[in-house]
Chains A and B, each alone.
Chain A
Amino acid sequence: MAAPTATSFHRRSRSQTGGGGGGGGGGATATATAASLPGTRASVHNGQLLVSTGVPSLDYMLGGGLAVGTLLLIEEDKYESYSWMLLKYFLAEGVVCGHSLYIASARDHPEDIIQELPAPLLDDVAQSTLEEESGNVNSFATASQNSMKIAWRYQNLPKVQTALVCSSRFGHYYDVSKTMSVEQQHSVKCHSFFLPDEVPLEFDVTKTGDMNFGYIKLLRSIQSVVRKEGFDGACPQTKPRNILRIGIHSLGSLLWGEEVGLSENPEHSCSLTKFLYALRGLLRTSLSTCIITVPGHLTQNKVIMGRVRKLSDTVVGLESFNSSERETNPLYKDYHGLLHIRQLPRLNSLICDAPDTKDLAFKLKRKLFTIERLHLPPDLSDTVSRSSKQDLAESAKLLSSGCGGGARGKTHLDF
Chain B
Amino acid sequence: MFSELNNILNNSPEQGECVLLCDSQTDGNFLVHHFLSFYLKGGCKVCFLGLIQSFSHYSLVAQKLGVNLPAARQQGQLVFMEGLRSSLDLLLTHEPEGTATQSESPLQFLSSPGADLRSLYRFVRTSLSPSPGSGWKFPVLIVDDLSVLLSLGVSTTNILSFIHYCRASICSQLQGNVVVLAHDDADSEDEENELLVKSLQHQSHLTLRAEGLVTGYCKDIHGQLKITLRSPLPGRNTTKVFQYKIQDKNVSFFARGTSPAVL
Direct contact of A and B (CB under 8 A): yes
A85 at the A/B interface (Cβ < 8 Å)? no
Q: Assess whether A270 is in contact with B152, with CB atoms less than 8 Å apart.
A: yes
How many contacts between A and B, using CB within 8 angstroms?
151
A297 at the A/B interface (Cβ < 8 Å)? no
Cα A311 to Cα B150 with chains together (Å): 12
Q: Assess whether B87 is in contact with A348, with CB atoms less than 8 Å apart.
A: no
- Give chain A residues whose Cβ lies under 8 Å from the Cβ of B251: 350
B212 at the A/B interface (Cβ < 8 Å)? yes
A400 at the A/B interface (Cβ < 8 Å)? yes
Report how many residues on chain B are interfacial, defined by Cβ distance under 8 Å. Answer: 55
Within 8 A of B (CB), among A271-326: 273-274, 276-278, 280-282, 284-285, 302-303, 306-307, 310-311
Cα A307 to Cα B146 with chains together (Å): 12
Given known pairs A216-B92, A349-B61, A350-B64, the reply for A403 and B25 (CB within 8 Å) is yes
Given known pairs A348-B60, A403-B26, the reply for A281 and B152 (CB within 8 Å) is no
Question: Residue on A with the closest CB to B212?
Answer: A403
Cα A220 to Cα B148 with chains together (Å): 22
Cα A407 to Cα B94 with chains together (Å): 43
Q: How far is the CB of B251 from chain A (nearest CB, A)?
A: 7
Within 8 A of A (CB), among B188-230: 188-190, 193, 212-219, 222-223
Question: Residue on A with the closest CB to B250?
Answer: A350
Q: Assess whether B222 is in contact with A310, with CB atoms less than 8 Å apart.
A: no
Beyond contacts A219-B92, A403-B218, A409-B214: 8 other A-B pairs, Cβ-Cβ < 8 A, are: A209-B94, A273-B153, A274-B151, A277-B148, A285-B54, A346-B27, A400-B216, A403-B217
Residues of B within 8 A of A (CB): 25-27, 29-30, 33, 52-57, 60-61, 64, 83-85, 87-88, 91-92, 94, 110, 112-113, 147-148, 150-153, 183, 185-190, 193, 212-219, 222-223, 246-249, 251
Give 24 CB contacts A-B under 8 Å. Answer: A26-B54, A209-B113, A210-B153, A211-B94, A274-B152, A278-B88, A303-B189, A307-B190, A346-B29, A349-B61, A349-B248, A350-B33, A350-B251, A354-B219, A357-B217, A400-B217, A401-B217, A402-B212, A402-B216, A403-B25, A403-B216, A407-B214, A409-B214, A413-B215
